[in-house]
Structure 1
Amino acid sequence: MNGDTLIDTLEEAGLSPYQADAFVTLLELGSASATDVAQASSVPDPRIYDVLRGLEEKGYIETYEQDSLHARAHDPADVLEDLRSQANRFENAAEEIEDRWNRPDIEEHAVSIVKRFDTVLTRADELIRTAENQVQIGLTPAQYTELADALEVAHNDGVNVKICFIPPSDTLADVPSTDLLERTCIEARRRDLPAPFVALVDRSWTCFAPHGESTNQYGVIVNDRSLAYVVHWYFLSCLWEVHEPIYSARSDEPPITYVDLRQCLRDVEPLLESGITIDATIYGYETNTGRKITRRGQLTDVEYVGQSATGGERTTLLHLAGQASITLETDEGEFTVGGWGAMIEDIEAIRITIDALE
């Protein structure tokens, strides 16, 4: 750092221009009379005495009499400590400004708009690690690498994790190995066209960002069940239903677990038509009280407002876009069970387990 830059820096630290110039001059001279300091610096002769006394009060120098007023630079330990303390304050202030600019206080807003994708990815990582029931996520292989540890934590905690891989641009990218997928999800699929990053966690949180080639770069973090439900249908229709699995750990033998009632309905409908007895456990909430409950019994019926499939065809997602429910017969009576956002059924199912097929 040259002398001029050092003077500018000392001015930013709180010295006046004359004080900064005089102090740097004294550092070079070691010890000198006030007159010599004025001649070697830009400080005018009439001002030199006030400038030196001001530096002495700040602890930068000490003055003494020797025929005339002399000065020498003080032991720099205190000065250096003060400068480093100020540097730390500036650094901390810079980090705080950046954090407040990038990520508003998410806990106080249902919808937060952020300007950097890193903020969306960081929040998705936090939410996935604390998920309790399900994660649906569409992301590129590179983004998967960033979130793989969090997805593994959720998967090990028994969370139902579904992953759809999307290419980063107009070209396909390699997906992770089967060993990695086995550690991080229950099922994975791949879309051949670019799509936004989206992560849904426990039917409440949504993290969204446009794909990398989009003109507009921003992120949205939503803590709202209604908006999450809309994104859930985007995930089902655009990232899931139309693509074949590239990995699946689902079993056709009980116990079989579902976190989506409509997927359960599609699988049990042909079983009921074949006369198979289906023992099941429903985990969810009473729609009239919001109380968390568990019900065990037999699935006896399915109902949906869409047209039924014919000719042995499997019921599609289109058939189930409206109201859809299943009926559970228990020792306490008969209960209707709906899916995400159920209102007219007795139970909103969070998780359905097929315990036995007879």
Structure 2
Amino acid sequence: MDDLDELEGVLADAGFSGYEAEAYLGLLQLRDASVAELASVCSVPRSRLYDVLRDLEDEGYVETYERESLRGRIANVSAAAEELRDRATELEDGADRLEAVWERPRFEQTDISVFQTHAATVREATARIDAAEHTVHLCVTPDELLELADPLRDAIDRDVVIRIAVQTGETGADTDLPHLFPDVAFEVRQCEAAAHFIALVDGSFAALAVDNEWDGQYGLVVDDNTLGSILHWYYQIQLWEPWDTLYSASMGTPTTFVSIRELIREIESVRTDDETVTVRVEGVDTESREAVEIEGEVVDVIYTDIYEDRDVTFAQQFIQAALRVRSGDEEYTIGGYGAVLEDIRAIQMTITDIK
């Protein structure tokens, strides 16, 4: 197939009829021609060329004039070229929409979505980081951290507490990364476990993205309390607690926590029997699901292990973790990520006073 044959197909795709495409390309070669001359270089019947040329003129592609007989000419190919570019843009947009539909969740049930690709899952997590108000927990590769650097910087500027477990493997942290840590996180740990991309945002949103040779690519995104708490528990136990700290920024005074277990460890390690600890809690009412903020005295610390006959140390993870806080005349039970039985599911907690 030569260039003109290919162009004829392109013009047909752009909306030209078969006769219009042939006549236009014939006139393109001759620049200016009579109907008889044009009929000699294209297969359009001579009797039809009169109507075809006038149709092309009505559409702005050619000009016609009389000189003994009807003649046609192309003064400029800009109109046709612009039509092709517009069609190309439409096709490119259509291709983008096809990919977007492919990457959408295969199904949606309540607040649980499954994505087709790792990249689409990370983009969804990025959008949530852009809107984060309180906390972000991440498990990422060095490349993923660099990709997320800008939205993380913006979140830090909004005073969002960000913790990052970097999957460095046994070789240690990437030498180009440490200078980035103060801009994107309050604390960074070196995670040597084989792990997937995980994002936990503001105590409700959770994303897991998988991309490996065994399982292929997919992503799980949830706004679901139960599954979110499972992913958070996995994050704390497997990806955060066991690993060395690469960077830690001072949280200042008062001290802010995003894990109720760490807050309990802090309270139990610093207070004595005659000291009073006051905390401010930002979270969600587990019954109404509305955002709440309370400040009051810690009147009880609750932590239990599944084995009643075994002592629990503060270095260990304990199964139940909760506080009882008195604020004014009311007492509230405060739970952490995934709290259901307590009055408030805490997202961010601050020790405001110890006296």
- Take 2:218 and 2:132, find their aligned partners in 1: how far apart are those partners? 24
Letter in 2 for 1:229: S
Aligned to 1:337: 334
- Take 1:355 and 1:67, find their aligned partners in 2: how far apart are those partners? 98
Do 1:187 and 1:250's aligned partners in 2 also have CA atoms closer than 8 Å?
no
Aligned to 1:256: 255
Aligned to 1:192: 192
Call closer, same or farther: CA 1:259–1:308 in 2, change over 3 Å.
farther
**What is the SS of the residue equivalent to 1:15?**
coil
Q: Deviations over 1:275-331 (max 9, x none)?
A: 5442323333444555544443332432223157978943411xx22x322233454
- Identity across matched positions, percent: 34
Aligned to 2:164: 163
**What is the SS of the residue equivalent to 1:14?**
coil
Call closer, same or farther: CA 1:118–1:286 in 2, change over 3 Å.
closer
1:135 aligns with 2:99: no
Call closer, same or farther: CA 1:59–1:192 in 2, change over 3 Å.
same
Letter in 2 for 1:116: T
Aligned to 1:201: 201
Counterparts of 1:201-350 in structure 2, within 5 Å, are 201-250=201-250, 255-272=254-271, 276-290=275-289, 292-306=291-305, 307=307, 313-317=313-317, 320-321=318-319, 323-350=320-347
User: What is the deviation of 1:260?
Assistant: 1.5
Do 2:192 and 2:243's aligned partners in 1 also have CA atoms closer than 8 Å?
no
Call closer, same or farther: CA 1:153–1:342 in 2, change over 3 Å.
same
**What is the SS of the residue equivalent to 1:11?**
helix
Aligned to 1:43: 44
Letter in 2 for 1:284: G
Call closer, same or farther: CA 1:336–1:80 in 2, change over 3 Å.
closer
Q: Deviations over 1:66-107 (max 9, x none)?
A: 444433335545444444443433333333333333346999
Aligned to 1:352: 349
- Take 1:256 and 1:43, find their aligned partners in 2: how far apart are those partners? 84
- Take 1:23 and 1:197, find their aligned partners in 2: how far apart are those partners? 55
User: What is the deviation of 1:60?
Assistant: 3.0
- Take 2:100 and 2:312, find their aligned partners in 1: how far apart are those partners? 56
Call closer, same or farther: CA 1:174–1:39 in 2, change over 3 Å.
same
- Take 1:340 and 1:202, find their aligned partners in 2: how far apart are those partners? 10
Do 1:141 and 1:175's aligned partners in 2 also have CA atoms closer than 8 Å?
no
- Take 1:16 and 1:330, find their aligned partners in 2: how far apart are those partners? 78
The 10-residue stretch of structure 1 (24-33 or 298-307) with the greater mean CA deviation from structure 2: 298-307
User: What is the deviation of 1:139?
Assistant: 0.3
The 10-residue stretch of structure 1 (101-110 or 132-141) with the greater mean CA deviation from structure 2: 101-110
TM-score (norm: length of structure 2): 0.84
- Take 1:158 and 1:355, find their aligned partners in 2: how far apart are those partners? 17
Equivalent pairs counted in the alignment come to 353
Letter in 2 for 1:316: Q
Call closer, same or farther: CA 1:79–1:211 in 2, change over 3 Å.
closer
User: What is the deviation of 1:239?
Assistant: 0.7
Call closer, same or farther: CA 1:213–1:137 in 2, change over 3 Å.
farther
1:12 aligns with 2:13: yes
Do 1:133 and 1:202's aligned partners in 2 also have CA atoms closer than 8 Å?
yes
Q: Deviations over 1:223-257 (max 9, x none)?
A: 22332222111211211122122222256x85221
Aligned to 2:124: 123
Letter in 1 for 2:195: A
Call closer, same or farther: CA 1:109–1:58 in 2, change over 3 Å.
farther
Q: Deviations over 1:185-211 (max 9, x none)?
A: 121111123311111111122222114
- Take 1:151 and 1:107, find their aligned partners in 2: how far apart are those partners? 28
Q: Deviations over 1:124-179 (max 9, x none)?
A: 22211221111010001111111112112212222111100014x88655165444
- Where in structure 2 are there 5+ consecutive unaligned residues? none
Aligned to 2:183: 183
User: What is the deviation of 1:120?
Assistant: 2.4
- Take 1:288 and 1:18, find their aligned partners in 2: how far apart are those partners? 71
- Where in structure 1 are there 5+ consecutive unaligned residues? none
Counterparts of 1:105-124 in structure 2, within 5 Å, are 110-124=111-125
Do 1:272 and 1:300's aligned partners in 2 also have CA atoms closer than 8 Å?
no
Aligned to 2:4: 3
**What is the SS of the residue equivalent to 2:146?**
helix
